[in-house]
Amino acid sequence: MNTFTYSYPTKVYFGEKAAESNLPAELAKVGKNVMLAYGGGSIKKNGVYDELMSILKNAGKNVVEFSGIMSNPTYAKVREGARLARENGIDFILAVGGGSVIDCCKVISAQAKLSDDLWEFENDKHGFPSEFIPMGAVVTAFGTGAEMNNGAVITHEGKKIKGALWGAFYRFAILDPAYTMTMPMRQVVSGAFDALSHCMETYMGSPRTTNLSDEINEACQRNIIRNLRATLKDPNDINARSELVWAAAMAENGMLKIGKITDFQAHMLEHQLGAYTNCSHGEGLAVIHPVLYRHMLPEAAAQFTRLAVNVWGISADGKSEGQLAGEFIDALADFIKEVGLPTSFSEMGISNADFKAIADSTVLTGGCCKKFTREELLEVLNECS
């Protein structure tokens, strides 16, 4: 096994009425000026805004609203939020939304306390911020698991890079599955697939032999597949939804990564696709995964075979490793079709105009079992068309 350190700073309040039951006590620990950050307004339509605002007012907070955080948040939006936080002497940020709001606030929390430009500070000077505005997250869209890690995926529009910036961990995350019931089904499916992808990308790293983290990972994958199917059958199935919310958090809370170096090559490619097209993250991954995995098959046969048998329930009787590995990719591709995710970029309205630039700017990961060249990533993108 690899050596590892494990510790977790984010407290999770999971379940029905988690905000009502726990937010007042958390708010009592922080200063008066609270930034309430959210996206395009779904929280105003489904009552979450009113509920949280009343808790904030009852706690005697002076609330400064920061709204309009878009999907695939931009660095310009981070700057706007950091400026607002500074101008208002913000003591605490309450981020309410999906991965986009939650990520944007992680970076605002750091940038508001830093005189350097955070992008340059982290990417060019290789620094890591040491001061943050404390934050809490209220998850309204599950999938990314962003509430339980300190990485933020931000699009720098000028540089055409969608990349990671590192911020603070949330002090706490409120995961009330009822808050996610108004998510459009398309977002439910793309969020669930993102969570499945996080599991697979972690699984495909090293060590590549059987280990505890991967065995837990297999259970998460089975859970996501089963509960996405149940949710599609009955969108009001709160138990299936609850399982998905927690499985998505588990996929990105470090537990599955214990002792592992992760792969995440599909994510790196999708992020750059997002930088050029602003596409849905989960949908981009759905198109990329099977194609990328067919390229990885020779190097990844043993891991794919385990996934075929342990996750997808494919019988190993009389089959070679190569055959089972291929059947895993087929099962994954069939599932993508079954749940209504796109299977090509053309279905997503994406042309091949920027494929070369996307391949050329994609991070080549160290954990992937295959060392992709930029030429082969370009082939992958073309095959995704």
By CB under 6 A, name the binding residues for ligand NZQ.
39-43, 46, 71-72, 97-101, 103, 140-141, 143-146, 149, 151-153, 179-180, 182-184, 187, 191, 194, 252, 267, 281
Q: Is 149 helix (H, G, I), strand (E, B) or coil?
A: coil
CA 292 to each of CA 83, 119, 189, 226, 328: distance values in angstroms, whole numbers, following the listed order: 40, 29, 20, 24, 13
Nearer to ligand NZQ, 134 or 167 (CB): 167
Structure-block tokens of residue 278: 């602003």
Q: Report the alpha-carbon distance of residue 10 to residue 111 in Å, rounded.
A: 20
* Smallest distance from Zn ion to CB 99, Å: 8
Residues 170-199 close enough to bind Zn ion by CB under 5 A: 194
Residues 244-303 close enough to bind Zn ion by CB under 5 A: none
CA 300 to each of CA 56, 208, 295, 322: distance values in angstroms, whole numbers, following the listed order: 50, 9, 9, 9
Choose from Zn ion, ligand NZQ, none: what does 97 bind? Cβ within 5-8 Å by kind.
ligand NZQ
Residue with nearest beta carbon to Zn ion: 194
51 binds Zn ion per the rule CB under 5 A: no
Choose from Zn ion, ligand NZQ, none: what does 202 bind? Cβ within 5-8 Å by kind.
none
Nearer to ligand NZQ, 148 or 381 (CB): 148
* Smallest distance from Zn ion to CB 38, Å: 21
Nearer to ligand NZQ, 69 or 381 (CB): 69
* Smallest distance from ligand NZQ to CB 305, Å: 26
Beta-strand (E) ranges in 133-258? 135-139, 151-156, 161-166, 172-175
Choose from ligand NZQ, Zn ion, none: what does 145 bind? Cβ within 5-8 Å by kind.
ligand NZQ
Structure-block tokens of residue 17: 């009425």
Nearer to ligand NZQ, 10 or 71 (CB): 71
Nearer to ligand NZQ, 13 or 310 (CB): 13
* Smallest distance from Zn ion to CB 260, Å: 17
Nearer to ligand NZQ, 225 or 251 (CB): 251
Q: Report the alpha-carbon distance of residue 25 to residue 13 in Å, rounded.
A: 12
Q: Is 63 helix (H, G, I), strand (E, B) or coil?
A: strand
What residues form DSSP beta bridges with 37? 66, 95
Choose from ligand NZQ, Zn ion, none: what does 100 bind? Cβ within 5-8 Å by kind.
ligand NZQ
CA-based nearest residue to 104, from 51, 168, 43: 168
Q: Is 139 helix (H, G, I), strand (E, B) or coil?
A: strand
Q: Are 86 and 123 in contact (CB under 8 A)?
A: no
* Smallest distance from ligand NZQ to CB 73, Å: 6
Q: Report the alpha-carbon distance of residue 142 to residue 190 in Å, rounded.
A: 10
Choose from ligand NZQ, Zn ion, none: what does 306 bind? Cβ within 5-8 Å by kind.
none
* Smallest distance from Zn ion to CB 143, Å: 7
Choose from ligand NZQ, Zn ion, none: what does 325 bind? Cβ within 5-8 Å by kind.
none
* Smallest distance from Zn ion to CB 57, Å: 35
Question: For the chain, what's the residue count?
Answer: 385
Choose from Zn ion, ligand NZQ, none: what does 231 bind? Cβ within 5-8 Å by kind.
none
Angle at 223 between CA 218 and CA 227, to 5 degrees: 155
How does DSSP assign 85-108, residue by residue? HHHTT--EEEEEESHHHHHHHHHH
Q: Report the alpha-carbon distance of residue 254 to residue 243 in Å, rounded.
A: 18
* Smallest distance from Zn ion to CB 210, Å: 25
Q: Which residues form the interface with Zn ion (CB under 5 A)?
A: 194
